[in-house]
Amino acid sequence: MRSRRLLILGLLCVPLAACGGGGTAPAAPPSPAAPPAAGETIRASGTFAAPPPGVAVTYDQTLVPVGSTAVVDATEGDGRTTVTMDVTGLEPNRRYGAHAHTKPCGATGADAGPHFQFTPDPVQPSVDPAYANPQNEIWLDFTTDAQGAATATSTVNWEFPEDRRAESVVIHTMPTSMEPGKAGTAGDRAGCITVGF
């Protein structure tokens, strides 16, 4: 097994030639990394900041405060994928939904696209529990402790197809529903971390 670690730090301010008084363009979200080899562990780590987009973006600063953090580790191999997310500094003693999404984080929560589904639902948005479920998607729901910290892990019996991979994990305002017609829904998008799955 080969091992690789991708560590993405939060937003950095790098002085450019424009620091002499001109404006600077907004930071662009990081480009996704090349797909990992079997057995590789991918790590994304970020400190949540308000848009413009960076590695970790908050859309609801009450639930995902500026300065809170997330670390996502993902490993795939032998027909399985395991993703673990650790968060700190979120609202204490609260339940959140969280899922892998198809696109990187952007200026708005919608920019991350829908949930990544191993077998895509032909009807979008997907609310059919035959597709929107924790075996076909990566669900990382969690409940924070008194300090606003939590850990969640999801293991699914598939690996990402090489031509179609998730690119972020979105934290939602509510736990994920499994009810028909609402399956996979978890309220608004409160925060997002771009991950090079």
Please write the tens of the pLDDT for every residue from 133-150: 999 999 999 999 999 999
* pTM score: 0.82
Averaged pLDDT, 89-97:
98
* pLDDT tens-digit series, residues 14-24: 333 333 333 33
Report yes or no: 42 and 36 within 8 Å, Cβ to Cβ: yes
Distant-in-sequence, close-in-space partners of 17: CB < 8 Å, separation ≥ 6:
none
Q: What is the side-by-side order of every strand in the sheet holding 142-143?
A: 56-58, 189-194, 168-172, 95-101, 142-143
pLDDT value, residue 53: 75
The percent of residues above 90 in pLDDT, for the chain, comes to 78
